[in-house]
Amino acid sequence: MRILVVEDEAKVASFIKRALEEENYAVDACADGVRGLELALTGTYDIIVLDLMLPALPGIEVLKRLRAGKILTPVLILTAQSQLTQKIEGLDAGADDYLTKPFAIEELLARVRVLLRRGPGEAAGILQIDDLVLNPATRDVTRGGQRIDLTAKEYALLEYFMRNPGRVLTRPMISEHVWNLDFDTFTNVIDVYVNYLRNKIDRGRDRKLIHTVRGSGYILKSEG
Ligand code: CA
């Protein structure tokens, strides 16, 4: 397992590096954001430990460019302040976990172990059914590797389906989770949007993924 540590405080960096190496991880360390991004973009790391306050390029920019470059390596961010907004910004930008400085090295090691267990796809929250792939961090949707453009509502509907594969979703359930509105006035709208989604996801494909369950609702599954 190879870990990249991007941290400009030399003491902290060497402390982390040594601790990780004692656990038999291979570790590369660098001290600025530009070099960090360059190394991270090679995609050869299993985990990236990323400080947010960095010279040359802030950690949050490193993270955003990494995710925009489709590199899904799990990222553990280190924040100097315990400020909530920084953590939220980091997690929204595609970080998988965070630690606030100062931290106990044992906790960092434990969090690294958790991220390694989860693996890259799952850590980044990638959802996949058959050849349909949805990335909640970037809101990218592809089928068979082809990009599918969805409106905000269509995306929300698909994400709900993909978080509940193989489960019959009734119109009231869809209404409540996707529209947050009362069901009664909405039945027709749901059917209309499911059809929009079908046109983009299933139309012209051999394997249909969205199926109607007569009298109940809809189900997303790969067979049938
Ligand atoms: Ca720093």
- The DSSP code sequence of 56-105 is SS-HHHHHHHHHHTT----EEEEESS--HHHHHHHHHTT--EEEESS--H
Residues whose Cβ atom is located within 5 A of ion ligand 1? 8, 51, 53
pLDDT digits (tens, 9 = 90+) for 68-124: 888 888 999 998 866 778 888 888 888 999 999 889 999 999 999 998 887 666 656
CATH number at residue 61: 3.40.50.2300
Picking from 159, 64, 72, the residue whose alpha carbon sits closest to that of residue 119 is 72
Place of tokens 């985990």: 47
Distance 103 CA to ligand 1 centre (A): 14
* Same domain membership, residue 132 and residue 151: yes
- In which order are the strands placed within the sheet that holds 210-213? 169-170, 217-220, 210-213
pLDDT tens figures, 178-201:
876 665 655 688 899 999 999 999
The one-letter code for the residue type at 209 is L
DSSP for 109-162 reads: HHHHHHHHHH-HHHHTT-EEETTEEEETTTTEEEETTEE----HHHHHHHHHHH
> Of 118, 153, 180, which closes a domain?
118
CATH number, domain of 133, equals 1.10.10.10
On whether both 80 and 148 belong to a single domain, the answer is no
Q: Is residue 110 domain-shared with residue 166, that is, in the same domain?
A: no
Q: How many domains does the chain have?
A: 2
Domain that includes residue 60, residue range? 2-118
This prediction has a pTM of 0.62
Compute, in angstroms, the gap from residue 52 CA to the centroid of ligand 1.
Answer: 6
Distance 28 CA to ligand 1 centre (A): 17
Please identify which residue in the block is written with the tokens 């969805």: 150
How many whole angstroms separate alpha carbon 4 and alpha carbon 32?
12
